[in-house]
Amino acid sequence: MNPPIPPIISPTELINFYHNPGLVLADVRTGPNAKENYFKKHLEGALFVDLDTQLADIKEDVANGGRHPLPEINVFAETLTKLGISKQSHVVIYDDKNAANAAARFWWMLKAAGHQHVQVIDGGMQAAEKSGFPTGSRIEKPKMVLPYSFDSWQLPLADMQEVEKVSADENYMVVDVRDAARYRGEQEPIDLVAGHIPGAVNIPFTNNLDEHGLFLSPAELKKIYQIKLGDKATSNIIVHCGSGVTACHSLLAIAYAGMEIPKLYIGSWSEWSRNNKTIAKG
């Protein structure tokens, strides 16, 4: 049995691996012109994956599940099939934000689906280009594969009720990965109310990166998270962000450190702040 692959792949490693027939390259950039920018230039062979329509089931009522709730399992499985992803595919994902956005979310969802071979490009598209990975603007066509199927999310999840129940329990830890100013309630550029979940601790996802926007080494990340998380059982740690997307960056970093992946609170601050829950500041 082959050892598990690390969740992060360097651009140089990807260049050497590029012609593997089982590779599926996914571009998960976000922003108002994401798809148009993808068609202008993307890593050669990469398929565009849309955060809002393929990696989430956005509802009109954000109070029910937050801004990026998970899609139904059968819908996500169908998305994987349409992308030409089979159980044997080696999926490599990138975005244009150092994997801090939808690349990490797609990685988490694939791991939660039980997919074994999935990695995120360290440094994203910019680093891959800088390393000489070829780019293009042609329309990429997915491979034809048999229908993908799985029965349940295999990584741990927490809902709003669980977060409220344990947030003040010293045996648990709720981790908020948003930047410090949003956590303290000094500003809130996206959601309606500023602040944080009472009892939550702030470990900004930017702590995972060095000054060049690359992930710290597994040893450095392990040292950081062992200190930050202390002796809490992994099953008692819940990680969240604004809408369950950027939190996956910290879960990715924890996995890269060789540690067990904690629970993800998908609804995150976008759900909590719209349900008349207690809000802390400072």
User: What secondary structure does DSSP assign to 14-59, as a single string?
Assistant: HHHHTT-TTEEEEE---STTHHHHHHH-EETTPEE--HHHHS----
Tokens, residue 12: 């140089």
Of the candidates 17, 23, 30, 13, which has an alpha carbon nearest to the alpha carbon of residue 45? 23
Q: How many CA atoms lie within 13 A of 11 on its CB side?
A: 21
Rounded to an integer, what distance in angstroms lies between the CA atom of residue 175 and that of residue 167?
10
Query: H-helix or E-strand containing 158?
Result: strand 157-158
The residues annotated with a catalytic role in the active site are 241
- Per DSSP, the three-state class of 204 is coil
At residue 234, the 3 state secondary structure works out as helix
Question: Helix or strand or coil: residue 8?
Answer: strand
Q: Contact, 120 vs 93, CB < 8 A? A: yes
Q: Where are the alpha helices (DSSP H) in the chain?
A: 11-17, 34-40, 51-54, 73-82, 102-112, 124-130, 160-166, 180-184, 218-229, 247-256, 268-272
Q: Quote the CA–CA distance of 109 and 91 in Å, as a whole number.
A: 12
